[in-house]
Structure 1
Amino acid sequence: MTQLPIDTDYLQEQLRNLLLIPSPSGMTDDVVRYICAELEKQDIRYELTRRGAIRAIIAGKSPSPRRAIAAHLDTLGAMVKGIKRDGRLRVVPIGHWNARFAEGARVKIHCDNGQIYRGTILPLKASGHTYNTEVDTQPSSWDNLEIRLDESATQIDQLWSMGIRVGDFVSVDPNPEFTDKGFINSRHLDDKAGVACMLAAAKALCDAEVKPELDCHLLFTISEEVGVGASHILHGEIAEMVSIDNGTIAPEQNTCEYGVTIAMQDSSGPFDRHLTQHLINICKREEIEFSRDIFRFYRSDAASALEAGNDIRTALICFALDASHGWERSHMRSLLSVAQLLVGYMSSKPLFSPHENVIGSDEEYPLIHDTERLRSS
C-alpha cells in the first residue's frame, strides 16, 4: 500500500504533553486519563483493566487472529524511604536506574493529602566548599542520596504536619527540550516516545479511513519499568504482539539513530523469527530506514507477556535512545520511522495465509504427520 502520512506536529505535541504528566510506576492514573481522552478524540473504543491499563481496539477487515501493539505509560521514579531529623528525606528508586543519574534531579513529592512539594535529589555531601575532595570520592548509590525540600521545614514534626509520609511517590522532572534540528532531550522518553508513535500511527489510519487487515489492539501498559508490563492485559484471541521501546545508542550496538531498530533478541531470548522477518520486509517494501540489533541487558513488555503464559508471537521495534534511563536523547526521524512501521504493520496481510500451518508453508516445514512418519521409519 502507499505509505500513509504521519502528522509530525501531532506526534511531537503528544510526546511533549505525555512527558509533562508525572507517571512513575504505581502512579499512572493521570496519564491513563489523558490517553483515554485522546482515544475518544479519534473515536477509538477502549476498556480499562482492573489495574488501570488500557486495551483499545482498531477494528479490522477480519476479527481473527488479532494483533496487538504495546507501549508502556509508566516511567522511572522514586519513593520517600524515610524522614530525617534535619528535614530532608531518604529516597529509594522506582524501577532500575543508576543513582548517578538521580543526582541533581528536580522532583515533586506527591502526598496522600493531595499536596505536592518541590525538591532536589542531592548526594549527602553536596557542597565542595565544605567537603572539598570528599565530594568526588563519596559513593554513587541510592543510600548516599537525599531529597532537599524547597520548604522552610527543618524538623520531623514540621514535615509530618505538611503531610509528608514514608511511601510518598516522587516524580522526576523530565525537562524536555525539542531542538530545531529534530533532537529531543528529556527524561522519560522511555517509553513515552513509543506511546506518542502509537498514537500518531493510529491517527494516520483513522484520518485516512483505512481499516487494518486484522483487528488490532493498542495496549498501554502501566508497570513495565518494574517488570509486570503486558503480563495481564492480553485477550486470548491475540496471536501476535509487537512491543515498542527504546533501542540504545552505544558502542558495539547496531541501533539506527535516525530510523527504527528491529530487535532480534533481548535478555529474555530471541523474538519470533517469522514476525520479526515480517517487520523487516515491511521496512524494505516501504523504504523505512531500519537496522537490526541485539540487547543483552534489556527486556520489554513482550517478555512479561510470554512469562505470563500467553501463547503468542512477539517482536520488538525500537526508537533510538542515547543514555537510556539517564539523560535521554532521541530524534524525530527515528520516531517517524517507528510510526511508519506501525502503520505498515497494521495494514499488512496476516502473517500466514489460511492454507499454511502455524510454522509456515509446507514447503519449508514438515507437517506433523510427516515428522511422525520419519520417526517410525
Structure 2
Amino acid sequence: MPLPPIDPDYLTDQLKALLAIASPTGYTDEAVWSLCRELNALGVDYELTRRGAIRARIKGETQGSARALVAHVDTLGAQVKRIKQTGRLELVPIGHWSSRFAEGARVTVFGEETRVRGTILPLKASGHTFNEEVDAQPVAWTQVELRLDAPVFSRDDVLKLGLDVGDIVAIDPQPEFIDNGFIVSRHLDDKAGVASLMAALKALKTHEVNGRPPVDLYFLITIAEEVGLGASSVLVPDVASMVTIDNGTTAPGQNSSEFGVTLAMADQTGPFDWHLTNKLARLAREQDIPFQKDVFRYYRSDSASALEAGADIRTALITFGVDASHGYERVHLDALVSVARLAVAYALSPVEIERDREPVSGPEGFTHQPLDDSGPE
C-alpha cells in the first residue's frame, strides 16, 4: 500500500519555526506553545504534562497495544555559573557538548525579567594582546566566558542589569537552508526530529479519511532529553512499543549518512528491541526508503530514559544522519523526509505481536528469534 506523502515544505517550515525559538533544557515553554498551536491547527487531540511534555494522539481501530513516536524539543545550552568581578560570566553547559563549539557563539541570556545579548569567548580572545597564547589555550568550559553586550564592568553592574547565577543561556542556531537540500544549523538535534514527527503527523491526519492506524498512536514531544530525563514521565500504560526519532552520528568510523534513514541497532545503553528494529528495516525495504544501520557508542535517547524509568516497552531508534553532532550540525532534507516516511509506515503497519496487548501474560504467543541450524531445537 502506498504511503500518504510527506510534505517537505511543511517539514521545512516547522523546522524553521522551531529553530527561531530558544529552548535549551529548562527553558522550553515557548517551543511547547508553538507546537500546541500547530497541533490545534491540525485538529489533533493532545495534553501536556505538568512541566510541558506533549502527548498527542490519533485514535486507532483498537486501543490495546498502542504505539508511540517520540522526539525532543529541548536543546543544548548553558547556565551562568559565576559572575566575575570583570563583569564577564563563567558558564556551565546544559547537556553534554564541548566548549570548542561554544567559542564565538552569539547568545541570549535570560534573566528573571530581562534578556541580554552576548558572545561566548575564550579567556584569551585577542590575538593582538596574547599572540600565540591564543592557540595554546586548553579546551574546557573553564576556559571560556560570556561577554555581555551591555555597559557592565563589575559584578554589581551585572546584578543591576537583572542577571544572576543560574540564568539560562540560549545559543543562536544560525540556520541556513541551502538550495541543494542541505540544512546547516545548531540544534538540529532534535528540532529536525520534531519537524519530521510533525510532518508524519500531518500526513497521517490527511490520510485519516482513508482509515485509521490499527492501534492508538501517540506522538510524544519531550522537554529534557539533553539532560537524560526525556521520555521518563510522558508515556501512558497502553503503549507497548515506542520509536524514537533523533539524530544519527555521521562521523569517521560510523555507518550513518546524511541521506535516507539511519536505523540504530544499539547505543550505550545496549541493543534496541530485536523485533521492532527488524520490523522497521523490513518496512523500509517494502516502501523503498533508503536506510543503513549503525551502532552508537556514546549516545542515549528518549528510549533509554523510558526504559530506565521502568517502562516495559519495545523501543527502537530511527535517525537522520547529522554531521558534527552537538557542534555545527548539518543534515540533508532527504534524511528528514525519509525518517518521516518510515514513521508513517510504522504507524500504519499491522500489529504482529498480539501478546503485547497485555502487560503480563503466559508464554502463549511469546516471540521467537531465529535459531542456528546447528543448535538445539
Q: Which residue of 2 aligns with 1:368?
A: none
Query: Where does 1:152-191 land on structure 2 (aligned, <5 Å)?
Result: 152-191=151-190
Gaps of 5+ in 2: 357-362, 372-376
Query: Where does 1:45-60 land on structure 2 (aligned, <5 Å)?
Result: 45-60=45-60
Q: In the TM superposition, what is the alpha-carbon distance from 1:358 to its structure 2 partner?
A: 5.2
Q: Which residue of 2 aligns with 1:121?
A: 120
* Structure 2 length-normalised TM: 0.94
Q: In the TM superposition, what is the alpha-carbon distance from 1:360 to its structure 2 partner?
A: 2.4
What is the CA–CA distance in structure 2 between the aligned matches of 1:284 and 1:317, rounded to whole Å? 14
* Structure 1 length-normalised TM: 0.94
Change (3 A) 1:354 1:231: closer
Q: In the TM superposition, what is the alpha-carbon distance from 1:71 to its structure 2 partner?
A: 0.4
Q: In the TM superposition, what is the alpha-carbon distance from 1:184 to its structure 2 partner?
A: 0.3
For the 8 Å contact 1:77–1:171, the answer to whether it is kept is yes
Q: Which residue of 1 aligns with 2:217?
A: 216
Query: Where does 1:223-302 land on structure 2 (aligned, <5 Å)?
Result: 223-302=224-303
What is the CA–CA distance in structure 2 between the aligned matches of 1:138 and 1:7, rounded to whole Å? 47
Q: Which residue of 2 aligns with 1:369?
A: none
What is the CA–CA distance in structure 1 between the aligned matches of 2:355 and 2:135, rounded to whole Å? 65
Moved over 6 A (4+): none
What is the CA–CA distance in structure 2 between the aligned matches of 1:175 and 1:211, rounded to whole Å? 39
Equivalent position SS for 2:240: strand
Query: Where does 1:85-100 land on structure 2 (aligned, <5 Å)?
Result: 85-100=85-100
Q: In the TM superposition, what is the alpha-carbon distance from 1:178 to its structure 2 partner?
A: 0.3
What is the CA–CA distance in structure 2 between the aligned matches of 1:228 and 1:199, rounded to whole Å? 22
Q: In the TM superposition, what is the alpha-carbon distance from 1:359 to its structure 2 partner?
A: 3.4
Q: Which residue of 2 aligns with 1:13?
A: 13
Bigger shift: 155-164 or 305-314? 155-164
Q: Which residue of 1 aligns with 2:202?
A: 203
Query: Where does 1:128-147 land on structure 2 (aligned, <5 Å)?
Result: 128-147=127-146
What is the CA–CA distance in structure 2 between the aligned matches of 1:359 and 1:145, rounded to whole Å? 55
Q: In the TM superposition, what is the alpha-carbon distance from 1:364 to its structure 2 partner?
A: 6.3
What is the CA–CA distance in structure 1 between the aligned matches of 2:224 and 2:148, rounded to whole Å? 28
For the 8 Å contact 2:355–2:366, the answer to whether it is kept is no
Q: What are the Cα deviations for residues 66-101 of structure 1, in whole angstroms up to 9, with x where unaligned?
A: 001110010000001111111111111000000100
Q: Which residue of 1 aligns with 2:332?
A: 331
Q: How many residues align?
A: 365
Residues 1:108 and 2:115 are matched in the alignment: no
What is the CA–CA distance in structure 2 between the aligned matches of 1:85 and 1:166, rounded to whole Å? 13
Structure 2 counterpart of 1:273, one-letter code: W
Structure 2 counterpart of 1:96, one-letter code: H
For the 8 Å contact 1:175–1:186, the answer to whether it is kept is yes
Q: In the TM superposition, what is the alpha-carbon distance from 1:50 to its structure 2 partner?
A: 1.7
For the 8 Å contact 1:278–1:351, the answer to whether it is kept is no
Residues 1:321 and 2:328 are matched in the alignment: no
Q: Which residue of 2 aligns with 1:23?
A: 23
Identity %: 55
Q: Which residue of 1 aligns with 2:64?
A: 64
What is the CA–CA distance in structure 1 between the aligned matches of 2:262 and 2:366, rounded to whole Å? 25
Q: Which residue of 2 aligns with 1:32?
A: 32
Query: Where does 1:332-371 land on structure 2 (aligned, <5 Å)?
Result: 332-353=333-354, 357=364, 359-360=366-367
Equivalent position SS for 1:12: helix
Q: In the TM superposition, what is the alpha-carbon distance from 1:156 to its structure 2 partner?
A: 2.0
Gaps of 5+ in 1: 366-373
Equivalent position SS for 1:133: helix
Q: In the TM superposition, what is the alpha-carbon distance from 1:320 to its structure 2 partner?
A: 1.0
For the 8 Å contact 2:63–2:238, the answer to whether it is kept is no
What is the CA–CA distance in structure 1 between the aligned matches of 2:27 and 2:315, rounded to whole Å? 27
Q: What are the Cα deviations for residues 155-182 of structure 1, in whole angstroms up to 9, with x where unaligned?
A: 2222111101101100000000000000
Q: Root-mean-square deviation (CA), in Å?
A: 1.7
Equivalent position SS for 1:90: strand
For the 8 Å contact 1:275–1:351, the answer to whether it is kept is no
